[in-house]
Structure 1
């Protein structure tokens, strides 16, 4: 993975344009320590930059920005295309000649032939920009599931884009005005929901979308979305289908010219990745895990047992409150936008990189695709009871207002929020997954931005799919996974110059299994995944789900107190559970660094 950036305009002098693009490149240097490059068009309309983490074709032939032989097309690309060898072979049969062993060159050739439709041929994670030096157009695209981020700022005829928000801000061109929509979204959910950011005017290109710039005008198009239309299939057929798709995805995600490691928590998803990797790969497998002194949170022993069963070269790193406290300032500086998550990936990424590994696989995505969260049972129940209470609409609304304002627990406040809305899956999801209720988030947002209008309660914009459980799956994939888990994984792994791959978040895998009826695919306890990977030890899946969490509550009450004691927040807002205090502390640090 790498860092990409660019400026498209016709209003800058060449010297100024070069200065601006160099600032952007410097802001992304951590994403690509192996190489860097800049291209500025002769007419001064385009400047694109790249910082490279070399994974495929480690030679200078992989240098970016990369151009076609005639100099017409120039690309800056972040990500990996796992089917590039197959695509390359097909292009060679059509007479194309290649000068490198990179996936980047394959994308260029595809764009030459197919234009914007090239993205439909790509299997992988990507954010890319291609400048057409003849037509004076630029094509930008983001992968279907949003694994790689792509931010942009459009003002007048100028378009600025980058892998991280900080690179756009480094130009000094956007005025740093906080976004009330981004702030409210963060307070409600714990992450800034795309397409918003915390800066007004800077947007995140939605997953599965491309953007075209020409003469200062933008065109946006959605080229992919998940389809949960179910087919008739038996349980044994579904198991076989999932197993074949999983093995295929694992094999593709090992395509690399450097060693590939695996994050191992000891849970079902990461153990499944290890088990399937052992089946498909010969030789050494490196695994990495975190352990704690606090026994209630420590899964180190389970991870060690998994590593022993599958014969991996295992590295365990014990994180104490003191060591975590030392790492916390760097973590805060790493965050491109505030989040209530990410510190776990930040720590384990450091371990892998210190061990000399440049690429790792993660089990992220298994819960969303196979129904591993309590939300798959709880949210449909909330919708059912909400519809029952809808007959008493006035009482229901008054009860909701009372709970939101006077409820003693944060759960009751969010339940009150839900009761004041139509009982949809989206409303129930926001309540179940939420951090602060609408009323609390509005008060905090007004505290930060007193001169802006208060935000309104979010409306239901989701598209209906075949079952309530499929709707929950869609929300978990497009909100929690995309806005938080994937974004945090990208930023925190790239802080150490590490490429993180997610074989369970694969376009072909998702397209293959999304047609399996939710009654099979989302059966409680991730039964379909367990049955599709019979190599899983019983003692891995026959224990309570724990998740990859840290003992933050104890640490915040102890050695980390000074980071969390002076929270800028209205006094009547409850700061328990711990993640509320965390969310506001991280927001406050980011705000003081970027906004103040």
Structure 2
């Protein structure tokens, strides 16, 4: 895991080499926490192209893994962040084709893979990655992001140049442009609880979507999709036995444990993280290190199940008790760690802090398990929810009237949007369009327009329709495309990297996901068995008391803590409108969830308000 940056001047009148280097140094410095082990800068002879890199050494800890890295003749350069888990297999194949390697790093595998297969190489990579690659032979710049958006990659462009980095704040501090607040970001944040890709909080700075690469050639910039979650594999149907699923899971976790630096696992006590510990214990010869968060508030603590799994697999188990006092003390650092605002991520901050103190440089996390294996309760109601979404046509004419509905019923307003988007937001949306309009200076129509602009489009430029997919397939893809890409994965990256820690997510392995999504929905859902594909495959590895216990999300007692010190937290939030003050009043009265006042705090601390 690293921090990457780069500049490409589109015209021949590039600034001096010193000017380009200064901008790269500024971006490197802004991302120093992402790579404390090494730093590098490369510039082309004419200064039109430059790459920066901050390295967190995980694979090949020697100086041979230094970046930016080139091929033998210096015609291809790369600055890369991530891990390619099948790099050893690709390396062997490339060696057989005559390629010569100077290091043991996966970075060099990407270079030679591109030399051999061109852009077709991108689909061969099993892993998480974001990289900039300069092809000096063809004068092309590629900015490439992995299939599911695990690794971040942002860019800024104007008529003279394009610049890119792992974090928005690095671009803002580059000195290459004057950053201005994007006021639309507040609206979509209040709708979604995060700022969906490609939008960011800075005008002119965009995120590259999952499964895409940006190409700069002859001064022209174009976006290309090399993997489409919504269409790849559609129409395929697979049947897989429990043994075959277990074998695939074992292979995936074994690949994710490959590391030349100390590695551990986050153990929340749920099915996903417990499954990773069980699989990791069979794959790793040495004793596993597991990390857990516990609370004094018993209803939020999963210590019983954490210790059950840690004891069963004899791990070196570490615990951190997070109290209201520690939470308040660390929150300035949490806000500082957020590159983009989100109502999530606090849990990852604290467990990453713990991992760093334990001397780890990489960890495995169960992120993605609920989205892939249909772990959320609404998956079991998918068909019913699909029918409810048809009510949308009745609600489109009501607009602001739905805000008169009590509590959770206000979410019905989302059904007035495009059917699939409306269904997703009814499940995941934060404030309704009418409420967002009241909290901002936007009209309801402006809010609805922005919401609609955030949905994924097919190759014809139209939204994906409900009838194209089984309701379970539609929900799973929305969860992966939306909640996972735009919230969970962004939070996981920025919060762990704030502690110079790499987080790996085995459940987002491309082969695993393509296999699961090709299995018929009725085989992925069992009303009586949670995450049936996963738990049946690991039936002999996971205690039944853990599998069948009530589902708990890995969340903090934030609601309890906000109420305990309401005056302190309210003073840090956006309260300059009657609508914002009403949110706090409704929260105090138990009418709305803690996520709503928490969103106002995040908006204020992120300078969105």
TM-score (norm 2): 0.91
Q: Residue 75 of structure 2: which of 47, 72, 76 is its match?
A: 72
Does the alignment pair 1:437 with 2:438? no
Deviates more, 1:455-464 or 1:20-29: 455-464
Q: Residue 428 of structure 1: which of 417, 423, 426 is its match?
A: 423
The verdict on how the C-alpha distance between 1:443 and 1:455 changes in structure 2, with shifts beyond 3 A counting, is farther
Q: Deviations over 1:274-324 (max 9, x none)?
A: 111112221210000000000110112210111001111100111111111
CA distance in 1, matches of 2:160, 2:526: 51
CA distance in 1, matches of 2:182, 2:276: 39
Aligned counterpart, 2:7: 7
Structure 1 residues 411-426: aligned runs within 5 Å:
411-418=408-415, 420-421=416-417, 424-426=419-421
Aligned counterpart, 1:550: 556
Structure 1 residues 156-171: aligned runs within 5 Å:
156-171=159-174
Structure 1 residues 341-420: aligned runs within 5 Å:
341-378=344-381, 380-387=383-390, 389=391, 396-397=395-396, 401-402=400-401, 404-409=402-407, 411-418=408-415, 420=416
Q: Residue 328 of structure 1: which of 318, 321, 331 is its match?
A: 331
Deviates more, 1:457-466 or 1:87-96: 457-466
Does the alignment pair 1:529 with 2:534? yes
Q: Residue 458 of structure 1: which of 448, 451, 454 is its match?
A: 451
Does the alignment pair 1:259 with 2:262? yes
SS across alignment from 1:203: strand
Deviates more, 1:183-192 or 1:134-143: 134-143
Q: CA deviation at 1:96?
A: 1.4
CA distance in 2, matches of 1:446, 1:398: 21
CA distance in 2, matches of 1:46, 1:414: 48
Aligned counterpart, 1:34: 37
The verdict on how the C-alpha distance between 1:561 and 1:31 changes in structure 2, with shifts beyond 3 A counting, is farther
Task: Give the conservation status (yes or no) of the 8 Å contact 2:414–2:425.
Answer: no
Does the alignment pair 1:300 with 2:303? yes
SS across alignment from 2:440: helix
SS across alignment from 1:458: helix
Does the alignment pair 1:492 with 2:490? no
Deviates more, 1:553-562 or 1:500-509: 553-562
Aligned counterpart, 2:590: none
Task: Give the conservation status (yes or no) of the 8 Å contact 1:230–1:516.
Answer: no
Instruction: Could you tell me which runs of 5 or more consecutive residues in structure 1 were left unpaired when the two chains were aligned.
Output: none
CA distance in 2, matches of 1:186, 1:530: 35
The verdict on how the C-alpha distance between 1:46 and 1:401 changes in structure 2, with shifts beyond 3 A counting, is same
The verdict on how the C-alpha distance between 1:367 and 1:346 changes in structure 2, with shifts beyond 3 A counting, is same
CA distance in 2, matches of 1:180, 1:551: 31
Q: Deviations over 1:153-193 (max 9, x none)?
A: 11113001000001100113333333344332211110111
CA distance in 1, matches of 2:144, 2:237: 34
Aligned counterpart, 2:607: 591
Task: Give the conservation status (yes or no) of the 8 Å contact 1:400–1:417.
Answer: no
SS across alignment from 1:37: strand
CA distance in 2, matches of 1:115, 1:228: 23
CA distance in 1, matches of 2:73, 2:397: 69
Instruction: Could you tell me which runs of 5 or more consecutive residues in structure 2 were left unpaired when the two chains were aligned.
Output: 458-462, 588-592
Q: CA deviation at 1:432?
A: 1.8
SS across alignment from 1:504: helix
The verdict on how the C-alpha distance between 1:197 and 1:380 changes in structure 2, with shifts beyond 3 A counting, is farther
Aligned counterpart, 2:460: none
Q: CA deviation at 1:416?
A: 3.0
Q: Deviations over 1:211-238 (max 9, x none)?
A: 111233212110012335365555xx34
Q: CA deviation at 1:386?
A: 4.3
Deviates more, 1:125-134 or 1:287-296: 125-134
Aligned counterpart, 2:569: 563
CA distance in 1, matches of 2:106, 2:58: 10
Task: Give the conservation status (yes or no) of the 8 Å contact 1:364–1:504.
Answer: yes
SS across alignment from 2:200: coil
Q: CA deviation at 1:522?
A: 3.3
Q: What is the total number of aligned residue pairs between the two structures?
A: 580
CA distance in 2, matches of 1:445, 1:213: 37
The verdict on how the C-alpha distance between 1:7 and 1:532 changes in structure 2, with shifts beyond 3 A counting, is same
CA distance in 2, matches of 1:561, 1:302: 35
CA distance in 1, matches of 2:314, 2:400: 56
CA distance in 1, matches of 2:197, 2:263: 30
Q: Deviations over 1:413-453 (max 9, x none)?
A: 121342x346x232111122111001112333327xx9x96
Q: CA deviation at 1:568?
A: 2.2
Q: Deviations over 1:346-366 (max 9, x none)?
A: 000111111111110001111
Q: Deviations over 1:560-588 (max 9, x none)?
A: 74233353242134243211111111111
CA distance in 2, matches of 1:453, 1:277: 49
Structure 1 residues 79-228: aligned runs within 5 Å:
79-226=82-229, 227=232
TM-score (norm 1): 0.93
Aligned counterpart, 1:446: 441
Does the alignment pair 1:337 with 2:340? yes
CA distance in 2, matches of 1:132, 1:572: 53
